[in-house]
């Protein structure tokens, strides 16, 4: 049987091929179909300026954390208001417990803690965004002493050691340090 309007079918076929693949009945693969194009790689949703701002904010939070911890330790005040300004849980609770334990034993921190932090990773595409920090802390002049006598607590001598921390961006836009570990077994 002949088609009444052969030109219409040809136009339909050309239009269908131009519009894209058409599902067909049958089990044979379409010999004219080529491989599917590779999916496009996602483009970063942040700029270099965003990354630089995250680095700076994370390092500022880290510096604030160290300063607030030193001040709170010197005053033996586990609820020092500056702690919550720069720290978030679980690290906030750990720092408060450490200060409280020292206070219960009549001890406090005194002296100078020297820090030289560097950013090791920035992850702005994760939820929440994070910045990893590595530091070589020099605690040789940062001592745990008895509050009444100012004598050094035995076994509490400091040294130079590696420390790592994570700064996390919270929904209100603040960068807070929420994880931190002093690697006292790793000198630097």
State pLDDT tens for residues 19-50.
Answer: 333 333 344 444 444 444 554 544 556 789 99
**Residue whose tokens read 């450490």:** 98
Q: Which of 1-5, 39-43, 119-123, 149-153 has the highest mean pLDDT?
A: 119-123
Residue 4 has pLDDT above 80, yes or no: no
Report how far residue 161's alpha carbon sits from residue 138's, in angstroms, rounded to the nearest whole number. 7
Query: Quick check: 59 and 115 in contact, CB under 8 A?
Result: no
Going by C-alpha positions, the residue among 147, 132, 184, 142 that lies closest to residue 163 is 184
Q: Is the pTM of this model over 0.85?
A: no
Residue 85 has pLDDT above 70, yes or no: yes
Query: Which 8-state DSSP code applies to residue 6?
Result: H
What would the mean pLDDT of 63-70 be, rounded to a whole number?
96
Query: Quick check: 180 and 141 in contact, CB under 8 A?
Result: no
Residues of the chain with pLDDT > 70, as a percent, come to 76
Per-residue pLDDT tens for 133-172? 999 999 998 989 999 999 999 888 788 999 999 999 999 9
What would the mean pLDDT of 109-120 be, rounded to a whole number?
94
Report how far residue 60's alpha carbon sits from residue 52's, in angstroms, rounded to the nearest whole number. 12
For position 40, what pLDDT does the model report? 52
What are the structure tokens assigned to 64, written together? Answer: 């604030």
Query: Quick check: 187 and 99 in contact, CB under 8 A?
Result: no
Q: Angle at Cα 80 formed by Cα 147 and Cα 143, nearest 5°? A: 35
Residue 103 has pLDDT above 50, yes or no: yes
């Amino acid at each position: 049987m002949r088609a009444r309007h052969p030109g219409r079918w040809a136009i339909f076929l050309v239009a269908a091929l131009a519009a894209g693949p058409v599902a067909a009945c049958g089990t044979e693969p379409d010999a004219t179909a080529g491989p599917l194009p590779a999916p496009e790689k996602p483009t970063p949703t942040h700029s270099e300026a965003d990354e630089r701002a995250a680095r700076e904010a994370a390092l500022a939070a880290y510096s604030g954390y160290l300063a607030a911890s030193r001040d709170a330790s010197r005053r033996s005040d586990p609820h020092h208001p500056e702690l919550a300004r720069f720290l978030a849980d679980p690290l906030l609770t750990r720092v408060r417990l450490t200060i409280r334990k020292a206070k219960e034993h009549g001890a406090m921190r005194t002296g100078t803690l020297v820090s030289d932090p560097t950013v090791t990773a920035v992850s702005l595409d994760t939820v929440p965004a994070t910045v990893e920090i590595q530091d070589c802390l020099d605690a040789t002049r940062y001592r745990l002493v008895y509050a009444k006598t100012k004598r050094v607590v035995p076994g509490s001598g400091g040294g130079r050691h590696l420390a790592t921390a994570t700064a996390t961006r919270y929904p209100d836009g603040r960068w807070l340090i929420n994880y931190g570990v002093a690697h006292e077994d790793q000198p630097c």
